Structure 1
Amino acid sequence: MKRTKVKRSSSFLELMAQPTVKGSQLILYFSTCVSHVLRSSRGRDKILGVVQHLSDLYKNCMIDYLAENRIREWPIILRNAKIINESMKNGRKIFRLLRWIEELGSIGKNTKGPYDAIIILKLVRHIAGAIYYILDNLVWVAQIGVISKVITNANWKWESTKDAASFVRYILLLIINLFSVRKRRAKETELIEELESDPGRIINYDNHGYKKMLSLVKIRTKRRYQALDIMKNFLRIFMLMKSLKLPFTQNVSGVFYSICGITSSALAIFKLLTLKTQIRIEGKQTIKRTDFQ
């Protein structure tokens, strides 16, 4: 019996690691991937985030070195790293301009339909997100001097409130992802048990087992992407704890927070680069269920 060929779209790392790829093809593929990231404002934001946290990492390492060797004067390269860090930080705010409108749209979507724990958490999370983006836009507009006469004296309050709203947003997002992963894991186990309980071990192109198999692949893909989101959320929460000056956070080295920022931005770029698993069935032959366990 001839088996169906099941093809999965190759991931970014798989294509980059092919030993037979020519140099010109590798450069072309890398350029295509970078272009894919740059198409979206979030992709540009994350690339600037990597540059920002890299410069911040260098700055913190150099400051520790100067303090250890009792050197007071900053070298020019350290001053440049600080300038790059501040420039990237301010530049990223441009990509967050009016993002609160997107959050308001998400609030409208979550107000429809039946309510459960996850929907309520999402609703509160989008409200916190809208508050964060509004305050972030106000702080940026105040920093460039447009409305400085109005909120300059209270700028630190806007900044701390913005960080608090972002902290609540990431905490809620972490809880939502944990609930979703648990729910998808239970659904995945249920589908596997249903496929194993069937008396036949063959999946036809047009039978019910085929649809279950596709559902299993989709659930696994979404669950693995959510694992990346959970890791990113943890890192962002650590960084916001320092910004809010929570207890014990000031004793942690700034190098650790810089590494958290680099890792968080790199994971976001990696998620944009990787291709979600897609299943394409050639022909109407049959396949064994054991191939997907």
Structure 2
Amino acid sequence: MNVFPHSSATQYTCMLLSYVLENKRGREAVLMKLKHLESSMSSGRKLFRLGNMVHAIVAARQSNQLPELVPRFCLTVSHLNRALYFVCDMLLWVRSVGLFPQIDKKKWRRRATRCYYYSLVMNLTEDLYELCRRMEQTARAEGAREDSPPRGRRVRSFVSRLTGGLQPFLLLLCLTLRRHPPLLLDTLKNLCDLSSPLDRLGIYKTHPVVIALCGIVSSLVGILTVASPSLKLKPSQEIPR
């Protein structure tokens, strides 16, 4: 969700180091600097929230034109929740600089976290849909390579063996993800991002170190997809012209 993944990587790295150094003597100065840097990176990113909100609205409008129902619904809802998240986050920033101190910080932070959580759930739903499609394609491709007579029987034979237990299913899953790195990276990033809102909403409490590590992994994946656009997951079908 972050347009500037390198700043998130720095922020989460500072968060992790702060926790590691928190209980060690003689590290107070380093600890304060790390916490200040983490806070500065978080505050600095808020200056770009308005642009991110506009980008999310435009992305929602584009995804609403996708021909397939599931990607169209999931991505549109995800982008709209993302836009609402940036609205809530901007209000929190306005309160933090003292323009509207009457804004309920706790309430709006929880609303922002909910929007972030719903956006990630929709992204993961779309990832799951895409994964199912890709696994079916992989099963058909592998079945077509067999030497048994008609193709339909080959596919059914291959699929029946794969659905015979957990191990064959995991084999097909790994094979599919290996053949589709953008899907693997997008799913990994969304799963890592999910740890923070789950903890903040009290759905699943997570250790701060785990949240920091997940944030670092997510940011590194974001940097990788920016550096290599071919690794960024595209919708299952192109938007019709």
TM more than 0.5: yes
| Separation (CA, whole Å) in 2 of partners of 1:185 and 1:115 | 18
Q: TM-score, length-normalised on structure 2?
A: 0.73
| Separation (CA, whole Å) in 2 of partners of 1:114 and 1:233 | 24
What is aligned with 2:73? 120
Greater share of residues in strand: 1
Q: Quote the RMSD (CA, aligned, Å).
A: 2.9
What is aligned with 2:134? 184
What is aligned with 1:227? 184
Listed as ranges, the matches of 1:129-140 within 5 Å are: 129-140=82-93
Shift in Å at residue 222 of structure 1?
A: 8.2
Q: Aligned residue pairs: how many?
A: 203
Shift in Å at residue 191 of structure 1?
A: 5.2
Are the structure 2 counterparts of residues 177 and 97 from structure 1 closer, same or farther at C-alpha, using a change threshold of 3 Å?
A: same
Shift in Å at residue 188 of structure 1?
A: 4.3
What is aligned with 2:8? 49
Rg (Cα) greater in structure: 1
Letter in 1 for 2:57: L
Map Cα deviations across residues 49-80 of structure 1 (whole Å, 9 max, x no partner).
Answer: 111111111110112x34xxxx6x86111111
Letter in 2 for 1:59: S
User: Once the two structures are aligned, what percentage of the paired residues are identical?
Assistant: 20
For the Cα contact (< 8 Å) 2:65–2:72, is it kept in 1? Answer: no
| Separation (CA, whole Å) in 2 of partners of 1:221 and 1:247 | 31
What is aligned with 1:255? 209
1:163 corresponds to 2:103: no
For the Cα contact (< 8 Å) 1:54–1:258, is it kept in 2? Answer: yes
For the Cα contact (< 8 Å) 1:167–1:240, is it kept in 2? Answer: yes
Are the structure 2 counterparts of residues 120 and 80 from structure 1 closer, same or farther at C-alpha, using a change threshold of 3 Å?
A: same
Letter in 2 for 1:238: S
| Separation (CA, whole Å) in 2 of partners of 1:258 and 1:243 | 13
| Separation (CA, whole Å) in 2 of partners of 1:134 and 1:86 | 20
For the Cα contact (< 8 Å) 1:98–1:137, is it kept in 2? Answer: no
| Separation (CA, whole Å) in 1 of partners of 2:28 and 2:177 | 50
| Separation (CA, whole Å) in 1 of partners of 2:140 and 2:127 | 20
| Separation (CA, whole Å) in 2 of partners of 1:222 and 1:119 | 24
Shift in Å at residue 192 of structure 1?
A: 6.0
For the Cα contact (< 8 Å) 1:221–1:276, is it kept in 2? Answer: no
| Separation (CA, whole Å) in 2 of partners of 1:194 and 1:253 | 46
| Separation (CA, whole Å) in 1 of partners of 2:131 and 2:106 | 37
Shift in Å at residue 158 of structure 1?
A: 0.9
For the Cα contact (< 8 Å) 1:98–1:133, is it kept in 2? Answer: no
What is aligned with 1:283? none
Are the structure 2 counterparts of residues 192 and 248 from structure 1 closer, same or farther at C-alpha, using a change threshold of 3 Å?
A: closer
Letter in 1 for 2:84: I
For the Cα contact (< 8 Å) 2:16–2:212, is it kept in 1? Answer: yes
Greater share of residues in helix: 2
Which one of 94, 99, 112 corresponds to residue 52 of structure 2? 99
| Separation (CA, whole Å) in 2 of partners of 1:222 and 1:127 | 31
What is aligned with 2:32? 79
Letter in 1 for 2:21: M
Structure 1: tracts of 5 or more residues without a match:
1-40, 198-218, 278-293
Which one of 119, 122, 125 corresponds to residue 172 of structure 1? 122
What is aligned with 1:111? 64
